[in-house]
Structure 1
């Protein structure tokens, strides 16, 4: 029997003969159906977020290991964690079969390279965590990376879109995204990849919240390295501390751009050192630090 990601849908007969809007409606409904594949994954995603949170707290590294579209989903998630949550870029690694594409070419044969996966996983340490992604759950690169990393003592989160995924044999946390067959059979850049992206978003965002980098839906550990983000940071400081835009801007300058410290300064901390000490006392969480003022 074909894996679910390779099956052909019954309703696709004559798809290429339909009007454009009908085709687009079909594709949209397929995307919505793919997202419903996350309904039963919340507990597993919570477990995965716990692994990631513990890894960051212990100074470990998060590895994304995948090929093709799954690799691009991992790249999209991992590359934005630094700007959103202030995590060090060095605390993450994107391990994609064949390397991260520099242009539009993305060869398919690299996903079968188990030796490359072993080489890429060679530096994984017991304190690290791996997110291995594969729509089929059998991609040799992802499976071998997971196997090698787990043998070295790392925690492994596996995300796959088929229930009987070989990948799940080598993980500590299995996330099965029960997505229906693709609107174009086997084209997992469509529904399966959509579900993977949302699952990664949810898991890494929960990690950021548990690390204390989110307060009332605001990113309080944002790296404000452009004009838009500087304005956002000033707005965050002003809203949480209840001060004017000018006072928020001054607090950010005094805190050298550290949003959490700036909030504490604007709320009454007498120095950046005092703000830093309050955060250290509360393990980086703003709410208890504010209570200690």
Structure 2
């Protein structure tokens, strides 16, 4: 007898198209999984207007010195921690500007701490201290995770901008957030296994959100990763290629300019394109919150005579 599922999150319901998944050839198993993965992509496209609002709000707070915090349990929590940790080297992001919190703490990253998600108090503790310049994003495929609910309630009480990302259109947590993003991913291929397409959709949302946020706050120049931190040989070569892409410099000239710019790729780009010394490029970047495009615009502005008067 099929259990009544009217009150269940869609992620917990049984998928009618995969009930015989254990009785079909391997290729058919993989084909059905791949077909359902496409659902995740379409689900993200449907929420882009709401996600754009979140990016714009986060960028405004980020410019004021605020931070973005992800809260989740299990797969959702791990995805949040992963996204936050990858931003540091990719965009030279300062520590604690984008932070991932997972129910159960660090241990839950490598082994399941299933009961941790039931603690509203732990979520509240992890969100303590968030204020008006911060953004709290709760990740909960089921839309019912107590840990996430506790974190979002505390963050909102502190004045933070709050967002919920779930796959449950009837989530009870929606009433307590500023923006509710519902990913219509439906039942999983394996019932309740939200690490599948619900998790895939969350990963796509996080990729899009954090990348758009970094673009909005000037961590790229065009589509070039000019904020990358060259911590190994591969990345050092990448900085040379990016500088050459941005400026059309010869390879030897690019290497020399990077060295003169103390390895700072942004400064090297500004120095080359604005035809200024690296020291001046550093000054321009400091005055424009590190945005290459804004620094180049500032470099083109005429220098005003401090003693000049009149129109």
Shared fold (TM-score, shorter chain, > 0.5): yes
Moved over 4 A (4+): none
Shift of residue 283, structure 1, vs aligned partner: 4.1
Name 2:164's counterpart in structure 1.
158
- Cα distance in 2 for partners of 1:170, 1:252 equals 49
- Cα distance in 1 for partners of 2:207, 2:105 equals 22
Shift of residue 117, structure 1, vs aligned partner: 1.2
Task: Could you tell me which runs of 5 or more consecutive residues in structure 2 were left unpaired when the two chains were aligned.
Answer: 1-5, 301-311
- Cα distance in 1 for partners of 2:12, 2:77 equals 19
- Cα distance in 2 for partners of 1:134, 1:187 equals 13
Is the Cα–Cα contact under 8 Å of residues 37 and 180 in structure 1 kept in the other structure?
no
Is the Cα–Cα contact under 8 Å of residues 269 and 275 in structure 1 kept in the other structure?
no
- Cα distance in 2 for partners of 1:110, 1:29 equals 33
Shift of residue 123, structure 1, vs aligned partner: 2.1
Does 189-198 or 157-166 show the bigger shift? 157-166
Shift of residue 102, structure 1, vs aligned partner: 6.7
Q: Counterparts of 1:139-288 in structure 2 under 5 Å?
A: 139-267=145-273, 269-288=275-294
Name 1:8's counterpart in structure 2.
14
**Of the candidates 2, 22, 25, which is equivalent to residue 28 of structure 2?**
22
Is the Cα–Cα contact under 8 Å of residues 74 and 200 in structure 1 kept in the other structure?
yes
Q: 1:44 and 2:50 equivalent? A: yes
Shift of residue 96, structure 1, vs aligned partner: 0.6
Is the Cα–Cα contact under 8 Å of residues 129 and 158 in structure 2 kept in the other structure?
no
Shift of residue 103, structure 1, vs aligned partner: 6.6
Number of residue pairs matched by the alignment: 293
Kindly provide the CA deviation profile for residues 28-64 of structure 1, in whole angstroms up to 9, marking residues without a partner as x.
1111112211121111111111122122211112211
Task: Could you tell me which runs of 5 or more consecutive residues in structure 1 were left unpaired when the two chains were aligned.
Answer: none
Kindly provide the CA deviation profile for residues 250-279 of structure 1, in whole angstroms up to 9, marking residues without a partner as x.
222222222111112233543333102222
Shift of residue 284, structure 1, vs aligned partner: 2.9
- Cα distance in 1 for partners of 2:108, 2:272 equals 44
Is the Cα–Cα contact under 8 Å of residues 63 and 129 in structure 1 kept in the other structure?
yes
- Cα distance in 2 for partners of 1:160, 1:208 equals 23
Name 1:109's counterpart in structure 2.
115
Q: Return the TM-score normalized by structure 1.
A: 0.94
- Cα distance in 1 for partners of 2:242, 2:45 equals 32
CA root-mean-square deviation: 1.6
- Cα distance in 2 for partners of 1:61, 1:268 equals 32
Name 2:305's counterpart in structure 1.
none
Name 1:73's counterpart in structure 2.
79
- Cα distance in 2 for partners of 1:88, 1:70 equals 23
- Cα distance in 2 for partners of 1:63, 1:20 equals 40
SS in structure 1 at match of 2:181:
strand
Structure of larger gyration radius? 2
Is the Cα–Cα contact under 8 Å of residues 35 and 179 in structure 1 kept in the other structure?
no
Does 71-80 or 100-109 show the bigger shift? 100-109
Kindly provide the CA deviation profile for residues 167-209 of structure 1, in whole angstroms up to 9, marking residues without a partner as x.
2222222211111211111110001000000011001111111
Q: Return the TM-score normalized by structure 2.
A: 0.89
Is the Cα–Cα contact under 8 Å of residues 34 and 180 in structure 1 kept in the other structure?
no
Is the Cα–Cα contact under 8 Å of residues 261 and 279 in structure 2 kept in the other structure?
no
